[in-house]
Amino acid sequence: MDCTATRIPYRQTNYFSKLVLDYIDQLPEVQPFYAHPVSLSGIQDAMNKRKQFPTNRKILVQELQKQYAAVEQNKLVQQNIDALLDENTFTIVTAHQNNIFTGPLYFIYKIVHCIKLADFFKKTLPAFHFVPVFYIGSEDADLEELNHILVGEKNIVWKTTQTGAVGRMKIDQAFLEVITEIEKQLLVQPFGEEIMTMVKDAYREGLTIEEATFRFVHALFAEFGLVVLKPDNAVLKKEIIEICEDDLLNQTASAIVQKTIDTLQKSSYKVQAQPREINLFYLKDNFRERIIFNDENFHVLNTDWHFTKEDMLEEIKNHPERFSPNVIIRGIYQERILPNIAFIGGGGELAYWLQLKSLFENYQIPFPVLVVRNSFLMIEKSIKMMLAKLEIPSTDVFIGENLLMKQIVEKDANTTTNLTAEIERVQEIYKDIQAKAIKTDATLAQHVAALKTKAIDRIIQLEKKMLRAEKRKFATEQQQVKKIKNKLFPADSLQERKENILYYYAKFGKSFLQILYQNSLSLEQEFVILAEKE
């Protein structure tokens, strides 16, 4: 695959929140909510803070070795795991739920950015080692968010009766039928058989979704040295028992994060995640339910489970794997078990991470550098040819459909439909009329103003009718613009939030991942448009 890359500011896309855009621009209003700027000096500061924090590297490496015993060994991955024992090794982390077949494209973009950033730091700071880590958010129980993918233009859904944490669900017959459906879509592509072999090797009947995701991501990225972590792990969760006990008994996180939320709201920023009094779920068998405290006892919502304080503390001591952090505590867990210095996330993720700095300070856990993940827009050859024919630059695809059509019509029409100049002349005429009328009777000024408003409104309506009439002459172009928009922005959303890696791998093979890596930015924060060459 050969392509050209164009970079534009995130603000130009109109798809990102004010908080994230202000964070990218490092505006003063956002500075109280993060610890380090997105810069090399910020990274070095984060490294110095991390060196002072005791991470249990031995336990981390032991658990990673156990997890990797189930897959084919890769030399670079093993070197990275072994390197984690060294105090001069740090991780660069990204995380996501275990969507089936990795879900939206940005799942892949996050990982590529993580790898690129680690490689950049290795070259820039050669005295240290940096390991890219993908943290599987396997305890999420929102099946409807994770059970589908878009392949081509077809939405394919896994329908299962299983409940609880999606990562603990098993590959069943219904899932195998989904694989068969995907295969029908992809085998016609040049690398369809290659990617389907990888899918079938990873997603085997009886395996959990977490394990299948682990194997599939490993198959895609092992050659880059990516380390994949399954944090649904009793040994690793022992590292945060004291924090979980504090949340259960004192509701510390709720109070601290709420103060930050209040400050954010005063700056007119939207809050991404609301803390609960208790920010833990009880995770067992086929359910993951919130823990609440009521009538001097702990209760698990939607179940008959209840515990005294003493019983609950005993439970978390003996079975830490049964306690699942929510979005407020999850980052604390991640940073407690990893020697991490940078976290790569999307706009929504970083919005809630910006709520957590004070919570990290409370538990004296180093807060990582927050890096907005890379975003890509893929423009395939057929779409690029349409854009060229319509003389639309790739950077203009973010403009609304109506405005794009207006530009096309006005550029190609024999007569312009823009009446701005005429409106300005009418305003001047009425200005002269008003001056004369006032000399006769000052009370006529309002009447003339009303006449002017009415006249201009009618001209504006005429302009719209002229544009509609001209557009009808451009029916073919309008269909092409609609097709371009539907392909690049399915369901009026960013392509990366809807489409899946399987289609692009089936079409372009491993070169697609290489193209992403080559064009992935490190600490720069810009949106990248990749256009396939003709």
How many Å apart are CA 54 and CA 66, to the nearest integer?
22
354 Cβ partners below 8 Å, 6+ apart?
19, 23, 30, 33, 34, 264, 370
Lookup result for tokens 């996330």: 345
- Residue 410 burial (C-beta neighbours within 10 Å; 0-12, 13-18, 19+): middle
10-residue block means of pLDDT along the chain (534 residues)?
93 95 96 97 98 96 97 97 98 98 98 98 98 97 95 92 97 98 96 98 98 98 98 98 97 97 93 95 94 94 94 97 97 98 96 97 98 97 94 94 86 71 91 89 88 92 82 83 95 96 97 97 95 89
Quote the tokens at residue 372: 């907005």
How many Å apart are CA 327 and CA 151, to the nearest integer?
29
The verdict on residue 407 lying in a domain is: yes
The verdict on residue 135 lying in a domain is: no
The verdict on residue 451 lying in a domain is: yes
Q: What is the pLDDT of residue 238?
A: 98
How many Å apart are CA 130 and CA 345, to the nearest integer?
18
The verdict on residue 527 lying in a domain is: no
Q: Do residues 409 and 401 touch, judged by C-beta distance below 8 A? A: no
42 Cβ partners below 8 Å, 6+ apart?
36, 369
How many Å apart are CA 502 and CA 203, to the nearest integer?
14
Measured N-to-C along each axis, helices 209-221 and 192-202 cross at an angle, to the nearest 10 degrees, of: 140
The verdict on residue 519 lying in a domain is: no
β-sheet bridge partners, residue 448? none
What is the DSSP-derived secondary structure letter of residue 161? -
- Pairing between β-strand 306-307 and β-strand 297-300 as defined by DSSP bridges: antiparallel
The verdict on residue 458 lying in a domain is: yes
Backbone CA torsion sign across 418, 423, 424, 426: positive
Number of domains forming the structure of the chain: 1
Q: What is the pLDDT of residue 415?
A: 58
How many Å apart are CA 131 and CA 145, to the nearest integer?
29
- Domain hosting residue 416, numbered range: 396-493
Q: What is the pLDDT of residue 439?
A: 87
Q: What is the pLDDT of residue 414?
A: 55
What is the DSSP-derived secondary structure letter of residue 274? P
Q: In what order do the strands lie in the sheet with 527-532?
A: 3-8, 527-532, 375-379
Q: Is the pTM of this model over 0.85?
A: yes
Q: Do residues 40 and 124 touch, judged by C-beta distance below 8 A? A: yes
426 Cβ partners below 8 Å, 6+ apart?
452, 455, 456, 459
Q: What is the pLDDT of residue 409?
A: 79
Compute and round to an integer the Cα radius of gyration of the chain: 28
Q: Do residues 137 and 288 touch, judged by C-beta distance below 8 A? A: no
* CA angle (27 as vertex; 26, 31 as ends), nearest 5: 75
DSSP string, 495-520: GGGTB-HHHHHHHHTTHHHHHHHHH-
DSSP string, 332-362: HHHHHHS-EEEEEE-HHHHHHHTT-HHHHHH
What are the CA-CA distances from residue 3 to residues 60, 161, 222 (Å)? 40, 43, 24
Q: Which amino acid is at 132?
A: P
Q: What is the pLDDT of residue 58?
A: 98
Q: What is the pLDDT of residue 333?
A: 98
Q: What is the pLDDT of residue 93?
A: 99
Q: What is the largest CA-CA distance in the chain?
A: 96
The verdict on residue 402 lying in a domain is: yes
The verdict on residue 164 lying in a domain is: no
What are the CA-CA distances from residue 138 to residues 124, 326, 484 (Å)? 33, 12, 35
Q: What is the pLDDT of residue 413?
A: 60
- Residue 14 burial (C-beta neighbours within 10 Å; 0-12, 13-18, 19+): exposed
